[in-house]
Structure 1
Amino acid sequence: MSDFALKDAEAHYGATRVLGPLSMRIAAGERVALIGKSGAGKSTLLSLMFDRWQAQNVALMPQALGLVDTLSVFHNVYMGRLDRHRWWRNLATLAKPWRRDIDEIKALLDEVGIGEKRWTPCGELSGGQRQRVAAARVLYQQGDLLLADEPVSALDGPQASHVMAMLTEGYPQAVLAMHDLELALAFCTRIVGLKDGAIVLDAPSEALSSATLQDLY
């Protein structure tokens, strides 16, 4: 398993430093929740992590989701493994997908509750359905580390819990920017709190409660 660490990392917007310098390490088996109010630096830190670690078998689920609206749900999920196939196979899949790919992706889509939408263009889906497609894509992609930015923000309680369980169980390590404190505490082993681009809290989830985290908001 890859080692994931940042040391004195910084991010700038023009000449202005918006994050850091900060250091952190993601240990084997850790599921880390990044919390803090809007503008605290959560998305910026995830982006920095992806830039530093993308060569180390890292999967990213961005807040904007990155779906292709004109392609079907199936093809958007299939894109999670584009780099594992030859160009001609990917091109052929646009016209006539392989049966084993269809079966594997349908099983994932059934798990997130949208198997019946697999041939529907993503542009016709609701916000919650689109988020489940993006979740299925990173689960199909697989890897050593998942980076996800508000991965269940458009889902209701039971759906959010189910997809969170799939994401955190589907990867050996994960860093997730979260706004839902209860979900963060339930599914992540470690909470990292950000404020004004700096880490102001770093503690095991079991030592915290949603009430103790309110000072970050």
Structure 2
Amino acid sequence: MAVLVELRKASAGYAGRAVLHDIDLRIDAGERIAVMGRSGAGKSTLLNLLYEHLADRVALIPQAAALVRTLSVFHNVYMGRLDCHRTWHNLRTLLWPNRRDVVDIEKVLDLVGLADLLFARAGALSGGQQQRTSVARALYNGRPVIIGDEPVSALDRVQGAEILHKLGARHETLILALHDISFALAYTDRVIVLEQGRIVLDTPSRALAAADLVPYYGG
């Protein structure tokens, strides 16, 4: 497998505070990885560090949906490919969307069950709908690597499973921070657990049972 990114003794943090310490990590193209651990363990910081190394190949699903609430669902999803169009096309799309763009985005929204909300205002959506819009933006972006920070946390189990399946079907590599152990074991092939900013477990999913991961969430 081709090496996608490799970190050696990497550290990272914010506001002058170290969050990650001595991270050794290699990720190959085609892997499906769950990043797990307690709140505050450093999952988001690790995803941000990986994004810095891979930005030109990544479709990002941030923890907060990060939508422009005053714009429509269509326009928020369209922003996934802003850099693929000329400035004049992007400006025109604000007022008079191109029919081809509308059709393409409607197809993506259909994948996440939101086709009927194409021109609804993003700020009027429920939390789950906003999260699915954020997922649709990443799907529309189309880059081979998905980095997602709790991408299905606001969804019920059926919706969450459907979204994870579709992300895996359409993108070569997945790097997802997940809290749900059953989702991690079912939809990824490798589990990385962080504790106090250090990797304490890095194991193929097939070698793990739910009981192996529960201790990292207790206490």
Regarding TM over 0.5, the answer is yes
Question: Residues 67-91 of structure 1, C-alpha deviation per residue, up to 9 Å, x if partnerless?
Answer: 0000000000000000000000000
Aligned AA (1:117): L
Structure 1 CA distance for aligned equivalents of residues 14 and 112 of structure 2: 37
Q: TM-score, with normalisation over the residues of structure 1?
A: 0.96
Q: How does 1:1-217 map to 2 (within 5 A)?
A: 3-54=4-55, 56-217=56-217
Alpha carbons of structure 1 residues 26 and 2: separation in structure 2 relative to 1, 3 Å: closer
Structure 2 CA distance for aligned equivalents of residues 101 and 23 of structure 1: 42
Structure 1 CA distance for aligned equivalents of residues 190 and 3 of structure 2: 19
Q: Which runs of 4+ in 1 moved over 6 A?
A: none
Structure 2 runs not aligned, ≥5 long: none
Structure 1 CA distance for aligned equivalents of residues 83 and 4 of structure 2: 22
Indicate if the aligned counterparts of 1:107 and 1:115 stay in contact, CA closer than 8 A: yes
Identity between Structure 1 and Structure 2 (%): 49
Alpha carbons of structure 1 residues 28 and 53: separation in structure 2 relative to 1, 3 Å: closer
Structure 1 runs not aligned, ≥5 long: none
Indicate if the aligned counterparts of 1:74 and 1:105 stay in contact, CA closer than 8 A: yes
Structure 1 CA distance for aligned equivalents of residues 155 and 192 of structure 2: 23
CA displacement at 1:210 relative to structure 2: 1.1
Structure 2 CA distance for aligned equivalents of residues 73 and 117 of structure 1: 7
CA RMSD in angstroms, aligned pairs only: 1.2
91-100 or 14-23, which deviates more: 14-23
Indicate if the aligned counterparts of 1:36 and 1:194 stay in contact, CA closer than 8 A: yes
User: SS in structure 1 opposite 2:209?
Assistant: coil
Question: Residues 134-183 of structure 1, C-alpha deviation per residue, up to 9 Å, x if partnerless?
Answer: 00000000112111000000000111100111112221011000010101
CA displacement at 1:14 relative to structure 2: 3.8
Structure 2 CA distance for aligned equivalents of residues 117 and 16 of structure 1: 42
Structure 1 CA distance for aligned equivalents of residues 109 and 16 of structure 2: 44
Q: TM-score, with normalisation over the residues of structure 2?
A: 0.95
Aligned AA (1:121): R
User: SS in structure 2 opposite 1:154?
Assistant: coil
